[in-house]
Structure 1
Amino acid sequence: MTDSIFQTLLAVAVSVGVCLLYFAGSNWLLDNVLARPSMPRQRRERLRAGVRPWLFIAPALLLLGVYLVYPFFETLRLSFMDATGEGFVGLSNYAWVFTDENFLITIRNNFLWLLVVPAAATALGLIVAVLADRVWWGNAAKTLVFMPMAISFVGASVIWKFVYDFRGPENDQIGILNAIVQGLGMEAQAWVTLPFWNNFFLMAILIWIQTGFAMVILSAALRGVPNDTIEAARIDGATELQIFFEIMIPQVMSTILVVWTTITITVLKVFDIVMAMTGGQWDTSVLANLMYDWMFRGGGDYGRSSTLAMVLMLAVIPVMAFNIRRFRAEEAQR
């Protein structure tokens, strides 16, 4: 334990020291070598203004190149290779993707996650944000709803394992859901093994986590809705539901879209929950899990796992493009 703490502190100290040396050294080189005192003053200042920003973003660009740009092109190359990553097979991996039964099940699961989780988490977050401001204990309620955001996906999965726990038909049940079911006179179930429906039980975990995120962002947006508009609607005889759907939601629609797209991207990358809960068994696998299985289980297949990674990346691009286009449209309106 002590060694781990010491190594962590040492790593932080070395990292900060390297950063300070880099920026101090690069500024010294700029001021004393590139922008020499013998240069005309105007040209020297122009050179400093042009080069100095690149000194600050150069480390970030280097890291992006090494850990993002290069892996992308290498993954693209491997997607045209065989299992060993050495023999060229053309588009056969992509042809396999759309005919493999496991992949088709995975795509169905991903579609269900995309359809249910962002909509449910955003809707629940909006409802909590509206209702919590109407009661005196609203801040405590918001705190409780937000708390799952502080838990890792694996930690949340462990918690929900106890919720769905099944000890066999003849044993006492410790799972909360089965205890409720038995209390209602019904039979306990192994919930995560039920075909098709088990996907929704896994989705509930991510909804539980992301509702707090949606609530915080939407609560801040709702505070920006003018009270005068709401009071005027009440004077005109509008019901609370009409105020909610016809005044509040239109006013915060741009924020709702931001929350929805953010959760959508999280859903496309979901891996931890499925791995911790079912390991992808019982038809619960998603794209990230299938990619992991082909790469790290059964000897590893560079070609097919890279193809799945490219499919996952292509699935993210439309969401990102929509978000960027909407952001630019908002900027143009300002």
Structure 2
Amino acid sequence: MDFDFAAEQPKLIQLGLGVVAFLAFVGLMLLVLDRAPMRQKARLHAAILLAPAVLLLSIGLLVPAIRTTLLSFMSGDSATFVGLDNYGWMFTQPEALLTLRNTLVWVVLVPLLVTSVGLLYAVLVDRTRFEAIAKSLVFLPMAISFVGAGIIWKFVYAYRQSGEDQIGLLNQLVVWLGGEPVQWLQEPPLNTVFLIVVMVWIQAGFATVVLSAAIKGIPQEIVEAARLDGAGPMQMFFRVTLPAIRPAVVVVLVTQSIGTLKLFDIVRTMTGGQFDTSVIAVEMYNNAFRYGETGKGAALAVFLFVLVTPIIIYQIRNLRRAR
């Protein structure tokens, strides 16, 4: 394919002007900083360096957040002010209440399961001969995107009618054991649990690595003193290990809670939110971009932001206490 220089010339000129403007801006910043009085240099230096980041954050986060909040009080076509009607729909209509219930189930189960599986695995493989290999295996799913994991597990749960060759691993095991194939992703409410399994499979490696590092940070003097006092394995875990790694456990729980609230990819890929599996992010996308209900989609987005904010504040406070 030949490159049409004449057609692309205006774009190249614009690109060149953009680069020149950026370099000129950087040069002007350095010049101002160099000639500023010594007492004002530190504050001026911070202000100039922070200004681009603040500007970009305002454009990328603040302005969309304000616009989304305003849209949440408008009708689907954004032409009529409807007040709190969209929020009323969220807490009164059965389909919206089902979405909120599913999200609650995800937020309760996923952090607990991920943290429990990661902690159990970290304790079991700690200081074993094949620790590095074991951690690598459990961490491998983290390298797969949520969409990729959803496609993989969709094949695991795949269903074909009785008498046909099963391509789904789970249904093939059921058939081998003499049972009938099941439509795993179409049977509420268990289908939500099967989707949660995918999330736990992906995130357990993250929890394992974080908690394993915390376990290795426990002073050996404390461990040896507990053993000399006659502490058994269970007492060691609940009275020494768990209290010592509490900050790491909190980090994992908080991180998983935030990630679960924003969950979209797995549900969208595997069920599309059908069969009573929808969550807030999926329903927000469907209303805003598929059904033309911009106001309802915006209301769900605002509600999601409200849910995430307290968790973030809690984590920030924990970090400040740790410092």
- TM above 0.5, one fold? yes
Determine if contact 1:27/1:52 at 8 Å carries over to the other structure.
no
1:91 matches 2:84: yes
1:25 matches 2:28: yes
Aligned to 1:40: none
Give the alignment of 1:1-334 within 5 angstroms.
22-32=25-35, 35=36, 44-298=37-291, 300-331=292-323
Over residues 15-39 of structure 1, what are the superposed CA-to-partner deviations in whole Å (9 max), with x where a residue is unaligned? 999766543331124335xx3xxxx
Over residues 194-236 of structure 1, what are the superposed CA-to-partner deviations in whole Å (9 max), with x where a residue is unaligned? 1100001001111111111111111111111111221222222
Give the Cα–Cα distance (whole angstroms) in 1 for the partners of residues 239 and 174 of structure 2. 39
Alignment RMSD (CA, Å): 2.2
Determine if contact 2:89/2:96 at 8 Å carries over to the other structure.
no
Task: Label 1:147 to 1:81 Cα distance change in 2 as closer, same or farther (>3 A).
Answer: same
Q: Percent identity?
A: 45
TM-score (structure 1 length as normaliser): 0.88
Determine if contact 1:166/1:178 at 8 Å carries over to the other structure.
yes
Moved more, 137-146 or 21-30: 21-30
Over residues 101-137 of structure 1, what are the superposed CA-to-partner deviations in whole Å (9 max), with x where a residue is unaligned? 1111011100110111001001111111111124211
TM-score (structure 2 length as normaliser): 0.91
Task: Label 1:127 to 1:20 Cα distance change in 2 as closer, same or farther (>3 A).
Answer: farther
Give the Cα–Cα distance (whole angstroms) in 2 for the partners of residues 28 and 185 of structure 1. 79
Give the Cα–Cα distance (whole angstroms) in 2 for the partners of residues 16 and 204 of structure 1. 48
Task: Label 1:226 to 1:30 Cα distance change in 2 as closer, same or farther (>3 A).
Answer: closer
Determine if contact 1:199/1:284 at 8 Å carries over to the other structure.
yes
Task: Label 1:140 to 1:22 Cα distance change in 2 as closer, same or farther (>3 A).
Answer: farther
Give the Cα–Cα distance (whole angstroms) in 2 for the partners of residues 138 and 325 of structure 1. 34
* Count of residue pairs the alignment pairs up: 311
Give the Cα–Cα distance (whole angstroms) in 2 for the partners of residues 325 and 316 of structure 1. 15
Q: What is the Cα deviation at residue 59 of structure 1?
A: 1.6
Determine if contact 1:23/1:55 at 8 Å carries over to the other structure.
no
Determine if contact 1:80/1:88 at 8 Å carries over to the other structure.
yes
Give the Cα–Cα distance (whole angstroms) in 2 for the partners of residues 217 and 78 of structure 1. 40
Give the Cα–Cα distance (whole angstroms) in 2 for the partners of residues 264 and 98 of structure 1. 22
Give the Cα–Cα distance (whole angstroms) in 2 for the partners of residues 22 and 136 of structure 1. 56
Task: Label 1:20 to 1:147 Cα distance change in 2 as closer, same or farther (>3 A).
Answer: farther
Alignment-mate amino acid for residue 302 of structure 2: M
Over residues 258-279 of structure 1, what are the superposed CA-to-partner deviations in whole Å (9 max), with x where a residue is unaligned? 1100010000000000000000
Aligned to 1:7: none
Give the Cα–Cα distance (whole angstroms) in 1 for the partners of residues 223 and 22 of structure 2. 52
Give the Cα–Cα distance (whole angstroms) in 2 for the partners of residues 50 and 191 of structure 1. 60
Q: What is the Cα deviation at residue 152 of structure 1?
A: 0.6
List gaps (5 residues or longer) in structure 2.
Answer: 4-11
